[in-house]
A and B are shown apart, each in its own frame.
Chain A
Amino acid sequence: MWLYALRRLVLTLPILFGVTVICFALVQIAPGDPIQNLLSPTASQEDADRLRAAYGLDQPLPIQYFIWIAKVLRGDLGMSIANNAPVATEVFRAFGNTITIALISVALAFVLSMILGVIAAYRSGSIVDKLITAVAVFGISVPTFWLGVVLVIVFAVNMFWLPATGMGASGSETFNYFNWEDFKFAIMPIIALALPPLGIMTRTTRASLAEILNQDFVQTLRAKGLSETAVMFHAVRNIMPQAVAMLGLQLGYLIGGSVLVETVFTWPGTGFLLNKAILTRDIPLLQGTILVLATVFVLINLVVDLAQSVIDPRIKRA
């Protein structure tokens, strides 16, 4: 298994290289450039050219790319053009803010989806099953940014229960998850983030468990006189590899793909950072963030693959 893990890690490198090339090319295709946000409203094209040269943006694209990748290989993600801060500091700070709510959201979604999925599969075709399926479809279909805005209107603007925006009353650097005054800022982002994975995982759990329950060995277990709880225990164990795979995938999506939720709630995580980097064409920041997210995504998938073989010895990773 360790050899397998090592091989997978080595295979990650070309994937990451491809990600950086595509990302770099996409930013270049888009019109506009990073220095335009730094200029005064009456700056001239000459001022722009001078600043572009100061940041090396007047160099041919392949050279710009190789200068960047050479630095990355030495462990230097460069400096953000928009706010003159090291990209590594920016990305890791944002990553810390995202990972916590992403983990809470996925854990919440996982536990709820297992409960709902098992109930729905066990009571297949009943009204409870239909209700749970409706919840799942809602979770999959509803756009998170819309849900975010609705949550803000209901709980912040009309009821004054929760704050509308931001991370903590005095910013993310003093944020403490164990302090209610701070934690209440995280509640709406967590709900908005948790709903889509809840929907997807509930549907998957229900579908795969229903299939398992129709298999012969379940009949055998029942025929042998096992209690329904014991039967369900055996059945649920059979869907765990699939559920864990789903969990890993959803966590990966939440870490990288929460741009909309984080923007709606001004939550200073990686999605929020990516949005800013795109709007200001902050190429080093964009490249650095995507590289880190892609690495994490690949690593999560690797961990999931390894975890699957631990849970289910029939799955061999060699």
Chain B
Amino acid sequence: MKSSRMPGVFKAAAFAALASAGFAGSAFAESVLRVAMTAADIPDFTGAPDQGYEGYRFAGYTLYDGLALWDLSSSDKAADIMPGLATSWEIDPANNKRWIYHLREGVKYHDGCDWNADSAIWNFARVMDPTAPQFNPRHVGGMGTYTAQIESIDKVDDYTIAINTKAPSSLFPYEMAMYYMISDCAVTAAGNDYVKYGAHPSGTGPYMFDSVTPHERLELVKNPNYWNPDRIPKHDRLVLLPMPEASTRAAALLSGQVDFVEAPSPDTIPRLKSAGMQIITVPYPHNWDYMFRMDVPPFNDLRVRQAANYAVNRQDMVDMLQGVATAADQTLIPSQKWYGNPVKYEYDPEKAKALLTEAGCIPCVIKVGISTSGSGQMQPLPMNELVKEQLDEAGFQVELIPMDWNALIGVFLAGADGTEYNAINFSMAPIDAVQGVLKKWMSGNASPNCCNWGVYNNPEVDALGEQAIAEFDPVKRDALLTKMNETVVADASELYIVHDLNPRALSPKLSGFVQAQSWFQDLTPIVVAP
């Protein structure tokens, strides 16, 4: 027996919709898209995904929507946000701490419940009000970071809410693209018990929950009534399978057990290609770097940070990865708005050695925390060996300290000043200016606040950040953020190495997939040939 099933009424609705779409009278063949994820387990699907952004990709944006969504329809530019459960939003002209959100009308959750201002306010209380019956500490851990700036929320009318922020926050709408709305009726019907809710989760997304076999598979079916007709899935069923082993994923694709594989390892790509699989790569805001600890020697010295950046031959790394990565000049990728025109660190080991000599740090002994695997960490062991070899050649003496991913997350959360490492190889997702620029470099975001691990502190950067946060003209704001980013790169505030190209392997049966320049992807356009 499967542990939970979609209520029969929705199955009937789904079937009726399919029948009306031309299946009536012919033999009913369900088209199924089977995806092998890299996750070690099925991500949380109750509205606060875990296991990194892969959880958001497959168990978040499939079932749920936020007030804003990511526009994943193009491969040509870095994805930006677009209207979702809100049709538009603006800052109150009389109060720069008050965002007005106009909610989409006529939207229903999968269980038939209405989406409106009351539901929105109920959803925020789920992580913001410990006295609310629907308050969920687990969801606070997963989603609380996106509501941290909110002071209060007012209902203006049935389809308008006003969100008051604690301080002016021009980039606040990006946070709302990450915060999912779940059916208040479904949680109430489950007696506010989220374990029970997990048996019948309900969002507004393009897919509806059908069943789950713990640790093995999550099955979703298409939502034929999705509010955006362009995004109604072009297949009937989506089966998500956790397969953390890259060789297992490749074998599953080659033997026809799955149709879509995340992150095949570079050495399997030639074999997959020769079997006729489609290998798709596209740049996206990914960053494989070393974060420096900058409050103590040796990386408190700009020359040492520059030396590390001159010491790394990024082309060697790209070659080793068989071209599934591009050389990184900085944290952001060139198609992001705030990339700017910064200093570039070309491979120059002699210059690196000279800088280290000038800084009086030869051999420059450093301890680097690395993981053996993990979300966004690519092939960490061989890649770190190569970086170590190159740094050692230029006058560093690198000691790599390997640990598993969970342990490295702990090191990251503790902040550099709480650990023994001079640097960590920790891949973050600079998906927008909040995560890629502001939270990464403003001094107020050092631990215990996310995400300035290395205790970077430059008053000029802080001032630019403050101005950007308070600037509501998008053009002026982007100019400030660009300048901020350029300053940070001039400070060599990370060891920039590569950006992943996010390879995916697809069966020749699939068509229609557009790989967006994003951590998130839209699976809805995929057509599965019989």
Contacts and interface: CB of A to CB of B under 8 A. Distances in A.
Interface stretch (A13-21, A30-38, A66-74, A306-314): A30-38
Given A50-B137, A264-B245, A264-B248, A43 B407 contact: no
A165 B252 CA distance: 7
A42 interface: yes
B141 A51 contact: yes
B127 to A, nearest CB: 10
Interface in A45-94: 45-51, 54, 82-85, 90, 93
Tier of interface size on chain A: 35 or more
Interface of A: 30-33, 35-51, 54, 82-85, 90, 93, 149, 152-153, 156-157, 160, 163-167, 170-174, 263-266, 268, 272-273, 276, 279-281
A38 B213 contact: no
B170 to A, nearest CB: 18
Contact of A166 (B3, B216, B405): B216
Interface stretch (B44-52, B90-98, B118-126, B346-354): B44-52
B194 interface: yes
Interface in B193-225: 194-195, 198, 213-217
A279 B406 contact: yes
Nearest to A33: B410
B245 A39 contact: no
Given A166-B257, A268-B216, A44 B448 contact: yes
Contacts of A84: 138, 194-195, 198
A276 B257 contact: no
Contacts of A156: 251, 254-255
A54 B248 CA distance: 36
A157 B448 contact: no
A310 B165 CA distance: 77
A86 to B, nearest CB: 9
A43 B450 contact: yes
A228 to B, nearest CB: 48
In the A-B complex, list the 10 residue pairs whose CB atoms are closest, starting with the nearest.
A45-B448, A32-B406, A54-B137, A51-B141, A32-B407, A31-B407, A164-B251, A171-B213, A156-B255, A36-B409
A30 B407 contact: yes
Contacts of B53: 41
A166 B2 contact: no
Contacts of A149: 247
Interface in B15-68: 40-42, 44, 48, 50-53
Given A165-B248, A266-B248, A50 B406 contact: no
A212 B252 CA distance: 49
Given A32-B404, A280-B41, A263 B142 contact: no
Interface string B440-458: 0000000111110000000
Contact of A38 (B50, B447, B449): B50
Contact of A40 (B143, B214, B408, B410): B143
B213 to A, nearest CB: 4
Contacts of B410: 31-33, 36
Contacts of A43: 141-142, 144-145, 413, 450
A279 B51 CA distance: 12
Nearest to A80: B214
17 contacts: A31-B403, A35-B141, A40-B145, A42-B451, A43-B141, A44-B413, A44-B448, A45-B415, A46-B448, A54-B138, A82-B41, A85-B214, A93-B214, A163-B257, A166-B216, A173-B2, A276-B40
B241 A166 contact: yes
B1 interface: yes
Contacts of B2: 171, 173-174
Contacts of A41: 52-53, 375, 428-429, 435
B216 A44 contact: no
Nearest to A31: B407
Given A38-B142, A45-B414, A280-B406, A152 B137 contact: no
A70 to B, nearest CB: 22
Contacts of B451: 42
